[in-house]
Every structure is written in structure tokens, then in C-alpha cells.
Chains A and B, each alone.
Chain A
Amino acid sequence: MSKRTDKAKNPFQFYTSVKLRELTGRKARNLRELAETIKDVPGSVIYYHTHVFLQKHQSSSPEPPNDFAYWVSRVLGEYKLGEELASIDICEFSTIRELREKVINVIENYLFENKDPLRYAPRDEEFEFVKAHSLVMPTGFTAHSLKEFEEIIGKVTIHSIYFHIFEARLRLEKGVNDFSFWIGTSAGAPELAGAIAALDPYTFTMEGLRQKLMDSISKYGCNKK
């Protein structure tokens, strides 16, 4: 068990990631087209539509937490399916491929059980598929101890926190978020690492998540004094 001020085995370098959005020109007008297009667009499209809300609404989240759910509910008026899509627990998936399969399964099961005629989106309200390019760079901030780590969490942009919590785990397929990995393996605080890994990050706003991380580290530090 380490103290907050103990020097870590290896320093933690903070990176950040910003997004450039590419238009694919692909559109869906109904649920069947949505499912079929989800099957063959690149993984970076699935990633975009299941994560864009996190960075768009950083302090408040008025929309269901993925674009598929939003469109299905608000445009097609399929509220039950919209809620099912919104409640997919992204933390359960360690690859975009698995997440894509889950989204397709939810839509296809609904189509199988629901024999009503397909609803069509009005003109100009089709689902438009967008792809995310990530530009990843070092922030120049390096933490050598948990105390420094906590201080830097308070200073970096939400894009940096987003990168280490969401993108590293799912898009870069590391399986665990970067913060938990470093805290567990280098900073000698496996309990804290476990607590951060067990957070439900998709239900926080980004600023809320920043505060939660700082509180968790601070609380851990108090307990170890």
C-alpha cells in the first residue's frame, strides 16, 4: 500500500485526444436500413455514434447516451427500442466489434418481435453515419506520484480524461482504462485502481467524472495517511 506522495515505479504521461469528424455519406431511413448499415460501416463509425455525446454535452446530458437511441426514439418514435439501445452497457464490451454486434442484435430482435410496418424518418431526418478520426498527442503533463496525478487531473482538458478512460479501453482495445492500470501497477494502489475501474463512466458528465476521479484519489489519500 502506498501513500499519495510515494514515488511511482513509472511516471504517468497524460495524453489527449481530439476528434475530427468525417462524413460517410451513408444514411438510414428506417430500422432495417439502420441495422444493415451498422453491419458494414467501419468500427470508427460505431465508436463515434456511441461516444459523441460524452464530449458534446460535457456539463449536461439532455439526450440518450448514444446517437442510435436518440434517433430511434426521437425521429422514428420507437421509444421502447430507443430505451433498450440507450441502456446498452458499453462497459461490458472490450472491443468495438462486440459492441457493434450487441447493437445489431438489439435492433434485429426488436424487428423480429415487432410485426408493425416499418416507420420511416421524415425527409432530412435520416440517420447520418459519421466517422471519428482521433488525433492523439502528449499533453506535457507527467505524474510521478498519486498526489501529482490528482493535481494534473484537475488541470487537463476533459479530452485528456476522455482519452484515458474511454478511448484507451475500447477503441485502442487495452481492456482497462489507463488510469486504473497505472494506479494498480505503478502507483501501488490496487484498491484505488479497482474502484476507478468499477466506476460507471458513461453515466457521468465529463466534468462530473473529473470530480469523481479527484474525490476518489483524495479519499484514498486520506485513508492512507
Chain B
Amino acid sequence: MKISDYEQIVGKETIYELGLISKKLKKKKIQCINSTKVGGGVAEILTCLIPLMNDLGINATWDVINADPEYFNVTKAFHNALHGNVSDITRSMFDKFASTGEEILKSTKIYGDIVFVHDPQPIALVEKKTKQNKWLWRCHVDVSRPYMEVWEFLRRYIEQYDISVFSSPKFARQLEIPQFLVTPSIDPFSEKNKDLTPSEIDAALRRYDIERDKPIITQVSRFDYLKDPLGVIDAYRLVKKYIDCQLILAGNRAADDPEMDLVLNDINEKKGKDPDIHVLLIDPKTNDIDINAIQRASDVIVQKSIREGFALTVTEALWKAKPVVASAVGGIPQQVTNRYSGLLCHTVGGAALKIREFLNNPAYAERLGRNGKEHIRRNFLSTRHVRDYMLLFHYLYNPEDIIYL
């Protein structure tokens, strides 16, 4: 997509303003680095933002690190530990992280004026920092209550960066470098978010044998304990006592997520023989369009996470004007203002009650869904994200309260 295509959604003046902000960045090379180009929110965001930055005249590129599967097992354990999930972190994991970090240093070429590193996997690259380039570390993880041994280990890398960027004020920690707030975004033109025709929606549902004969409650997420899929099944069963409905748990397989099979086993055990619970491992070939269709076909979207980064699945649901019931964790309260743009919950019982409220009051559900869509349009689309990143780039060269361009 071209940046001008977004005019129809965010307005001509917003696109013009992006052009103004980008003017003085045109001579800078921006090198983004993360761990994968496929699967997960970070890859989705970069897939959208890199072309938009280039269309604005900024020389932005995207590289991924090379590492063996064992390294990604370690970074997955670190990821869980940063979420506060006390897993079996061993000394050998730190050794593996450090030794693979050395290999990543050797195999990754740094050429950016601004090096923009995402999440912990490539974090050791900052050892290559020189006086000629600026370094940003972008954390997409909820680090509000991390397992401290892992956090302290990573902190020695983080504090070598010029600035850090988090998705929620709740994630701010004591750091010796400035910490900025940049919320993630969705691309309204992506396969996952673009408008679909009724026949496209029906075709996707047929691929998974879903009938629209009962209200559909859906949670879209990785199959991960932190997304509480078992709690969603409990909530669905409480709703089912009063309303004959069906539940969809839909997710895909991310390249760096080795824990998924364990979670799926537990879900299937809890599901038992209930034909109204659909556990869908979405086909990677049609993943985005299928997720889009399932969200659009749903009557209520749930995100009953125990921990969250920002929860882009909530953003996607709101953009489709869907009534959302979501836990008040991570970045969700920034998106869902309770009883204005959705309903927040804290427990299984609360989630069930609020799903029933929506299913029994369609006009109320529609009103909150409409408010949610407008909130996303103004605050959480790709154009705002590009703007915030450009502001960060400016700040690196002008670290003032008021920056005059």
C-alpha cells in the first residue's frame, strides 16, 4: 500500500502532516532488526511500517537474526519470565543466550544511522554500537512484573541503548536511559483487517466447518497459557447455561513458539466431546483472511489474557466494530474504555457475565463496537505508528522537551 491510500481512512491532512515530519529524516538509514519475518505481532507491524516509511522517503530496511532452535527455546523461556511466569530458568540458558549473542554479532551487519532492535532476541547486537549510530530498543513484552534474574541480565544490554520504547506506561521500569511510550497498531488494508464480502466470510467458515446457527464467541490468540484459553472455555460454559452458543479458539503456529503443543493438549482435554467448541489451528496459507473472517462472523470477541503485551487481536476486533470482552491487563485498557468501547473483566465469572450482557443486548453491543472502531481509527492505525517512530528518530538527534523542526 502507498501512504496516500490511507487518506480515505485517516484524512488528507494527517497524511500531509506525516510528509512534514519525514522531511528531515530522508538522509537517515533506519535498520530494523528482529527475530522472524513470519508469525507474531512484531513481524506483522514491520511488514506494514517498513514500506510506509520508504514511501515517505525514509530509507528503512528490515533484517532478521540467524540463530538455532535451542536459542529460540531460551528466548521463549526468557519471554515467559519477563511476563513474570517463573519457569525453569537455568544457568545454561544465560550461557546459551550469551554465546549465541556472540554469533549473532558476527553474522549481522550493522549499517543503519539508526538501529532499531525489537524484543530480547537480537538485544546483544548493541555491542556493535558506535558514535556514528543511534540505537533504540523496542520492547513488545509486558515487563511490569518480570522474573528479576532475567530482567537484570537483559538490563545490562538495554542500558547500552540510547533510548527504549514500551507499549504501555505499566511496563516502565527504573532504567538509566529514557523510556518512551509507543502503542502498536494495525494496518486497515492488511488481509487480516480489510473489509470482506459476506461470501468471503462464509467461505472461510466453511473451511473450518463452522455453522452460523448459534451466536459465536471467539478468542483469537496464540495457544499459550498466558492467553488463558482454559479460562475462556470455563467462561463459555457459564454463558451456555443461559444462551445456546458456540466457542471458537483460533490461533496459528509462530516460528519461535515451541510451547504450543502442550497448551493444545490441555485445551482438547478440557473441550472433551463438546461439538460447539471449535479449536482451530489456522492454515498458514490462509491465516490472515481466515482470522479476519472469523472475527467478522463473531458475535462477541473475547481476550481473556492473564498477561498481555498490547493485544493486537483486541485492536483488530475493535476495528471490525465488534463488541469486545477483555481482561484489564497489559495494553488492553488503553484500547477498551469500560462500557464505552467494550467491557473489561478480571475473572472467568466476570467474562461470562459480560458476554451474556452483549449477547442479550445487541443494540448496546453495536454501540460499543462502533465507539471502539472510531477509537482505533484515531489512535491505533499504522499511520499513527509511523508518526510516533519518526518522532523517536527526531528525538535521538534533538533530545529536548520542545523540538523545533
CB distance from B382 to the nearest CB of A (A): 16
CB-based contact B179/A135 at 8 Å:
no
Is residue A5 within 8 Å, beta carbon to beta carbon, of the partner chain?
Answer: no
User: Which residues on A sit within 8 Å (CB–CB) of B400?
Assistant: 133
CB-based contact B13/A133 at 8 Å:
no
CB-based contact A133/B179 at 8 Å:
no
- Stretch of A20-28, A86-94, A111-119, A174-182 with 4 or more beta carbons under 8 angstroms from chain B: A20-28
CB distance from B111 to the nearest CB of A (A): 26
CB distance from B351 to the nearest CB of A (A): 17
A62-B391 Cα distance, complex, nearest whole Å:
28
CB-based contact B329/A124 at 8 Å:
yes
A139-B375 Cα distance, complex, nearest whole Å:
25
Which residues between 135 and 173 of chain B lie within 8 Å of chain A, taking CB atoms? Answer: 144, 166, 169-173
CB-based contact B13/A155 at 8 Å:
yes
CB-based contact A135/B169 at 8 Å:
no
Interface readout for B171-189 with A: 1 if CB under 8 Å, 0 if not?
A: 1111100111110000000
Is residue A13 within 8 Å, beta carbon to beta carbon, of the partner chain?
Answer: no
Interface readout for B298-341 with A: 1 if CB under 8 Å, 0 if not?
A: 00000000000000000000000000000011000000010010
User: Which residues on A sit within 8 Å (CB–CB) of B179?
Assistant: 22-23, 25
Is residue A150 within 8 Å, beta carbon to beta carbon, of the partner chain?
Answer: no
Is residue B37 within 8 Å, beta carbon to beta carbon, of the partner chain?
Answer: no
Q: Size of chain A's interface in residues, with CB distance under 8 A?
A: 37
Which residues between 34 and 63 of chain A lie within 8 Å of chain B, taking CB atoms? Answer: 42, 44, 56-60, 62-63
Is residue A159 within 8 Å, beta carbon to beta carbon, of the partner chain?
Answer: yes
CB-based contact A137/B405 at 8 Å:
yes
Is residue B14 within 8 Å, beta carbon to beta carbon, of the partner chain?
Answer: yes
Minimal Cβ-Cβ distance residue in A for B20: A137
Known A23-B172, A23-B179; contact A134-B401, beta-carbon cutoff 8 A: yes
User: Which residues on A sit within 8 Å (CB–CB) of B328?
Assistant: 124-125
Minimal Cβ-Cβ distance residue in B for A125: B328
Is residue A69 within 8 Å, beta carbon to beta carbon, of the partner chain?
Answer: no
Minimal Cβ-Cβ distance residue in B for A63: B337
Interface readout for B58-82 with A: 1 if CB under 8 Å, 0 if not?
A: 0000000000000000000000000
User: Which residues on B sit within 8 Å (CB–CB) of A42?
Assistant: 401
CB-based contact A133/B401 at 8 Å:
yes
A27-B76 Cα distance, complex, nearest whole Å:
30
Is residue A156 within 8 Å, beta carbon to beta carbon, of the partner chain?
Answer: yes
CB distance from A224 to the nearest CB of B (A): 28
- Indicate which residue in B144, B175, B379, B387 contacts A18 across the interface (CB closer than 8 Å): B387
A128-B328 Cα distance, complex, nearest whole Å:
16
A58-B172 Cα distance, complex, nearest whole Å:
27
CB-based contact B181/A21 at 8 Å:
yes
User: Which residues on A sit within 8 Å (CB–CB) of B166?
Assistant: 23
CB-based contact B401/A25 at 8 Å:
no
Which residues between 369 and 391 of chain B lie within 8 Å of chain A, taking CB atoms? Answer: 371, 374-375, 378-379, 387-388, 391
CB-based contact A128/B172 at 8 Å:
yes
Known A20-B180, A23-B179, A128-B170; contact A59-B378, beta-carbon cutoff 8 A: yes
Interface readout for B391-405 with A: 1 if CB under 8 Å, 0 if not?
A: 110110000111111
Minimal Cβ-Cβ distance residue in B for A24: B172
Is residue B269 within 8 Å, beta carbon to beta carbon, of the partner chain?
Answer: no
CB-based contact A157/B17 at 8 Å:
yes
Is residue A195 within 8 Å, beta carbon to beta carbon, of the partner chain?
Answer: no
Is residue B21 within 8 Å, beta carbon to beta carbon, of the partner chain?
Answer: yes
CB-based contact B404/A137 at 8 Å:
yes
- Indicate which residue in A23, A63, A172 contacts B180 across the interface (CB closer than 8 Å): A23
User: Which residues on B sit within 8 Å (CB–CB) of A62?
Assistant: 337, 340, 371
Minimal Cβ-Cβ distance residue in B for A126: B170
User: Which residues on B sit within 8 Å (CB–CB) of A124?
Assistant: 144, 170, 328-329
A44-B402 Cα distance, complex, nearest whole Å:
9
| B residues lining the A interface (CB < 8 Å) | 11, 13-14, 16-17, 20-21, 144, 166, 169-175, 178-182, 328-329, 337, 340, 371, 374-375, 378-379, 387-388, 391-392, 394-395, 400-405
| A residues lining the B interface (CB < 8 Å) | 16, 18-25, 42, 44, 56-60, 62-63, 124-125, 128, 130-131, 133-140, 155-157, 159, 171-172
Given contact pairs A20-B392, A124-B144, a sample of 7 additional A-B residue pairs in the complex whose CB atoms are under 8 Å apart:
A20-B180, A21-B181, A25-B175, A56-B378, A59-B374, A124-B328, A125-B328
